[in-house]
Structure 1
Amino acid sequence: MKFIHTADLHLDSPFRGLDEMPAQIWQRVHQSTFTAFERIVDAAINQQVDFILIVGDIYDRDHHSAEAEDFFVRQCQRLAKQQIPVYLSYGNHDYQPVTEQIDSLPNNVHVFGNQVETKTLTLADDQTVAITGFSYGKRWLVEDQVSKFPEKETADWQIGMLHGAISQNNPDQDHYAPFTLPKLLQKRYDYWALGHIHKHQVLNEEPLVVYPGNPQGRHKNEDGQHGYYLVQSNSDKLTAEFKPVAPIEWCEIDAHLTHDQTVDSLIEMLLHKGEAEDGFKMIAFNVHLTDQVNALTKKLLANGTILERLQENLSEKGDYQWWPYQLNLLKGTALPKMTDLDQEYWDQSAQDVFNQDAVIDLTDKLAKYGFIADQLADPSLVEQLRYEASQKLGEGDHDEN
């Protein structure tokens, strides 16, 4: 048996805040989620897999574009021509009521309904595979879904598909089919195909419990390699191998300024660092400043002039192998540190206050405006708010009264 496990395609992601890049770069970025999935389909055909699992969030939102749906259908049709079935579930981003087979999808695509159900198939070697899963019918699923999964019965292989997050034992956070690893293992399944978390990771080796991550990182917090897992049987066990497919990789690169660094030499240094990277990279430079750096350089860094000059340099060359989208200034002298107790309370409060659901709740009235709703839905916004709040806290008056 050989299959591909993927999830969180997020086709047609808007990539907010990047649309002012050169058209050639923007097109590459905007198409990246499509390109990543097309590469997965290519791999499925070349590897002659028995089936594909797509565990939620095929689309970036419940009201997706016609272009995204047409693209997905065409890729599934490619698989249909090779007799490769697709088993998919919808997640919290593309939730929808599923009452019967969706007409727009080819017959090789099997969609899980809103209640836990099991679908079976027989492989060419007559082995049987039972696949159990469900689709989201609403944005939040706070109820335990794993308890509704049957234990393994007579099938040669039993696979669970679960788009969800590990339970935090907190009703304010457990919104996405919360589960615990011990409860998954109690079902005696051969493989748990997870979705929802955008970082590929193996939660358990025997049996395998796997998050494939999303095939294409969508912002700076989804850095590093992204791809899918190729799963194969070896006697009575399964092995999973991560395969990168993302056409674009987000990364951060450190740059340390010397006291005699000129603006031109700084730009040259950043260009050299970017050109040394393999593959297409979206780069955020972390520029480390010291008190000895001259005032003009500091000013040009702070007001964005150096980033603009760096981007102009690449645009003039027209050879886009990487793109600097951000330049962060890091002071060589540390901000005043919190006491251990302050830090403990800050960490606890930050988790409660700076999460996506809390931000959406606090801005409920503003969310009726589409452009604001799009910003609020971006996970990087929460990280930015948390970071800026911590910086402001560090800059505050630390005199004890």
Structure 2
Amino acid sequence: MNMKFIHTGDLHLDSPFLGLTEMPDQLWKQVHQSTFAAFQRIVDAAIEQVVDFVLIVGDIYDRDHHSAAAEDFFAEQCQRLADHHIPVYLSYGNHDYQPVTNHSLLPSNVNVFDNQVETKFLTLQNGQRVAISGFSYDQRWLDQDYVAQYPQRKKDIDWQIGMLHGAVRTGNDQQDHYAPFTTSELLALHYDYWALGHIHKHQVLHEQPAVVYCGNPQGRHKNEDGQHGYYLVESQDDRLIPEFRPVAPIEWHQEIVSINNDETSQQLVDDLVHQIDNPATEDAFAMVEIKLPADQLSAGLKRQVLAGSILERLQNACEDQQLRWWPYQLNLQSASTQLPKITDLDEKYWSESAQQVFTSDQVMALAGKLANYPFIADHLEDQQLVAELQKSATQLLGQGGADDDED
């Protein structure tokens, strides 16, 4: 009988989904409830798959001051797992850090890790012994290397698993605020699986043994696009094999659409409705950012796009036809978003540098003492803000080549 478990994290329950344009009430409710629905789908899968346990690696809530409704919902879902005799192993992260780990409101099947690395043990129905090591954040930033606290793989157990909410070390002290680590450090402990959290894009850092970021089950904005879900991990011989399973009710997508430059505004709307098919996976609703090449639009249509009238008409058409996607933004893709073509500025080096400069950690560092206020820190950590800053900087570099209609 194979061991089977679910690896998830970064649930960000009750995310506010800031910055969205107006939309029908029912759709807004669907978007706002999507973080809850995604976790409920994970619990459904755990019950259907009859997993041995569930790992939740940090950031259960979107912020340390979260709603009672989010707490109640999380407890209810854990109780569903308890009703099916499925234990939960939980660590808190930088968004929901706990100076004192209090789990009195959670069902007895939930095992919460303390603020220092500890190991919890589980004996499966087939008699195999599992050791799970991890810790919870006690503050927003953790600069030290917590991997040094993790024990070496124990000889008297069948499976050793590590849970770590953190980021790969960059070597820059201004960025390494989230329990920094290196993959080689993790591999040196000889664990069978590393369940990582904090990064919102699901990815495998190392194949065997598996070192895996589960990503968040529900993308919160356009920079967390594509599929989001969890990993179903199953034992095969002496290995643990992760398989990604999408569950996000809402998916963020970007569509670049070519059009005829002699279209009227109504023809443009009709063309967009027919060109864009729902790009989301099955059982998901697509939130779409549409980009129109500025050089394919007349001056009049550009003005209407910038004024928002084309987007409003397109949204009305989508609502009338009850489409499975919603255009939340309609932008011009113009030369002003490209780098200036000058010999002393190489686009390759700009792109590489931008990845280092435009990060949440750099923005937080620039904010200085302001970042000590939780409501400001939450905003500064928003990846959408970071992306907009990078976009603005790129546009400033290239603004000399833009004409009045494109600005």
| TM-score category, normalised to shorter length | over 0.9
Range with bigger deviation, 321-330 or 273-282: 273-282
1:78 paired to 2:83 = no
Matches of 2:120 and 2:377 in 1, distance apart? 37
For the 8 Å contact 2:339–2:347, the answer to whether it is kept is no
**TM-superposition CA deviations, 1:20-76 (whole Å, max 9, x none):** 322111100000000000000000000000000000000000111000000000000
Give the conservation status (yes or no) of the 8 Å contact 2:278–2:325: no
Residue deviations 1:290-337, cap 9 Å, x none? 1x63221111112211111111222344x2521100112112696632
In structure 1, the partner of 2:111 is: 110
2:315 corresponds to which of 301, 311, 315: 311
CA distance in structure 1 between the aligned counterparts of 2:119 and 2:157, rounded to whole angstroms: 11
Question: What is the distance in 1 between the residues matched to 2:191 and 2:374?
Answer: 42
Cα distance in 2, alignment partners of residues 14 and 341 from structure 1: 39
In the alignment, structure 1 residue 331 sits paired with structure 2 residue 343: no
**Matched residues in 1 for 2:124 and 2:219: separation?**
33
Q: Residues of 1 paired with 2:253 and 2:367: CA distance?
A: 30
Of residues 360-369 and 301-310 in structure 1, the stretch that sits farther from structure 2 once superposed is: 360-369
Distance 2:269 2:191 in 1: 55
Question: Partner residue of 2:145?
Answer: 144
Tell whether the 8 Å contact from 2:339 to 2:397 is kept in structure 1 after alignment: no
* Gap change, CA 1:167 and 1:224, over 3 Å in 2: same
Q: Say which of 350, 359, 364 aligns to 1:360.
A: 364
Q: How many residues align?
A: 395
Structure 1 residues 277 and 84, CA, compared in 2 at 3 Å: closer, same or farther?
A: same
Matched, 1:322 2:351: no
2:43 matched to which residue of 1? 41
Q: 2 CA distance for matches of 1:335 and 1:55?
A: 39
Partner of 1:253: 255
Unaligned runs of 5+ in 1: none
CA distance in 1, matches of 2:34, 2:278: 22
Match of 2:12? 10
Contact preservation (8 Å) 1:257, 1:289: no
Match of 2:306 among 281, 288, 302: 302
Normalising by structure 2, what TM-score?
0.91
CA distance in 1 between partners of 2:299 and 2:332 (Å): 14
| Residue of structure 2 in register with 1:226 after alignment | 228
- Checking the alignment, whether the CA contact within 8 Å between 2:53 and 2:86 is kept in structure 1 is yes
Q: Which moved more, 1:305-314 or 1:220-229?
A: 305-314
Q: CA deviation at 1:348?
A: 6.5
Listed one character per residue, the Cα deviations across residues 315-373 of structure 1 (whole Å, up to 9, x for unaligned) are 344x2521100112112696632435555774576455432233234445766888755
- Would the aligned equivalents of 1:8 and 1:55 in 2 still touch at CA under 8 Å? yes
- What is the CA distance between 1:245 and its match in structure 2? 0.3
Tell me: CA distance 1:71–1:355, structure 2 relative to 1, closer, same or farther (3 Å).
same
Moved more, 361-370 or 228-237: 361-370
C-alpha change, 1:310 and 1:371, in structure 2 (3 Å) is farther
SS of residue in 2 equivalent to 1:107 = coil
Which runs of structure 2 are paired with 1:2-401 in the superposition (5 Å)? Answer: 2-18=4-20, 20-99=22-101, 102-153=103-154, 154-278=156-280, 279-290=284-295, 293-317=297-321, 319-331=322-334, 336-339=340-343, 341=345, 343=347, 346-347=350-351, 350-351=354-355, 353-363=357-367, 374-396=378-400
- Measure how far apart 1:261 and its partner are: 2.1
Residue identity (%)? 61
Paired with 1:85 and 1:338, the residues of 2 have a C-alpha distance of: 59
Query: Does the aligned pair in 2 maintain the 1:192–1:208 contact within 8 Å?
Result: yes
**Aligned mates of 1:391, 1:172 — CA distance in 2:** 26
Report if aligned partners of 2:59, 2:94 keep a CA contact under 8 Å in 1: yes
